[in-house]
Amino acid sequence: MNAAALMLFKLLARLPLPLLHGLGIALGWLIYWTPGRHSARMRNNVFDSGLCTPGRSCRRLLRQSIGEAGKAIIELFPIWLRPYESVLKLVKGTSGWEHIDAARTAGKGIILIGPHVGCFEMLNLYYASHHPFTAMYKPPRKPMLAELMLSGRQRGQATLVPTDLSGVRAQLAALKRHEAIGILPDQVATGGDGVWAPFLGRPAYTPTLVASLQRKTGAAAFFVAAERLSWGRGYHLHAFPVNDTLPEDKAAAAIRINQGVEEVVRRFPAQYLWSYNRHKRPSDAPDPDALRPDGAPPA
């Protein structure tokens, strides 16, 4: 990335969100028809999800998801490059956020479990405008893009930490200070750091960090999503409390986490990142065929 590209991004960031989302729909279709694995993976994930009826229903969901995927890319320009106060004005309302406020008032740490649904970048920016927030960050390989991402995300009271043991320790320390952290629950776990659990009818190698951090700190956990409103009207933030403590058993906890992610995806199916290879097997992960039908390891 060079200075000319950065200038272009800054110009795009100034465009009205409805226009950007319109361009995003076109971008989504352009990417979908570009040769590669992207389109096949997206199509297979949608049709195999069980969230639509094979045929017209799944084709409709796929078409909607292609447009939403393009919006997710192009909206990064205003989210990362506009002034912070301007970005926060894009949040048009919240639902369930009072439960987060109540947990804070009770002196609990907060775990925001944010799947790849809608504009998930907005969640940490909104929370960090009010309270301290810590999230893990894996920088892209291109230095200018990494700088752009870091400056766009680390605003307000947000702190980004590495995706390694030091980052885990930083998140643990934040929870012990009764602060908030953010976790992406629907990434493929690295070998040794996850377990197989069913997700939308197929095994997915699922991270177990959320349950561990909650168990060690007594934090309150919430599934959260930033719904992308139609016609570029902005975003509505949703919070869904995890009303029980996640199980100590890793497999049982992973099943519960994936169930929570599924519930969020079912609410906003077109805004889920269907192009992500959620069901791939890491090279050092165990064989998923060893799972029982309920998704747990063999007895």
User: So what's the pLDDT on residue 139?
Assistant: 79
Tell whether 151 is covered by a domain: yes
With contact defined as beta carbons under 8 Å apart, do 237 and 95 qualify?
yes
Tell whether 252 is covered by a domain: yes
Tell whether 127 is covered by a domain: yes
Q: Cα 83 from chain centroid?
A: 23
Burial of 36 (0-12, 13-18, 19+ CB in 10 A): exposed
Task: Give CA–CA dist 43/45, Å, rounded.
Answer: 6
pLDDT, averaged per 10 consecutive residues of the chain (299 residues), comes to 81 96 98 94 96 94 98 96 97 98 97 96 96 90 84 95 92 98 90 86 93 95 98 97 92 95 98 94 78 50
User: So what's the pLDDT on residue 298?
Assistant: 46
With contact defined as beta carbons under 8 Å apart, do 23 and 95 qualify?
no
Going by C-alpha positions, the residue among 135, 120, 110 that lies closest to residue 228 is 120
Tell whether 194 is covered by a domain: yes
Summary count for the chain: helices (H), strands (E): 12, 9
Identify the residue whose tokens are 């890319």. Answer: 73
* pTM of the complete model beyond 0.85: yes
Q: Which domain holds residue 116?
A: 3-280
Q: Tally the domains of the chain.
A: 1
With contact defined as beta carbons under 8 Å apart, do 225 and 115 qualify?
yes
Tell whether 50 is covered by a domain: yes
User: So what's the pLDDT on residue 291?
Assistant: 56
Tell whether 290 is covered by a domain: no
Tell whether 12 is covered by a domain: yes
Tell whether 125 is covered by a domain: yes
Task: Give CA–CA dist 265/271, Å, rounded.
Answer: 8
Task: Give CA–CA dist 86/105, Å, rounded.
Answer: 28
Q: What is residue 52's DSSP assignment?
A: S
Q: What is residue 83's DSSP assignment?
A: -
- Give the tokens for residue 70: 């393009």
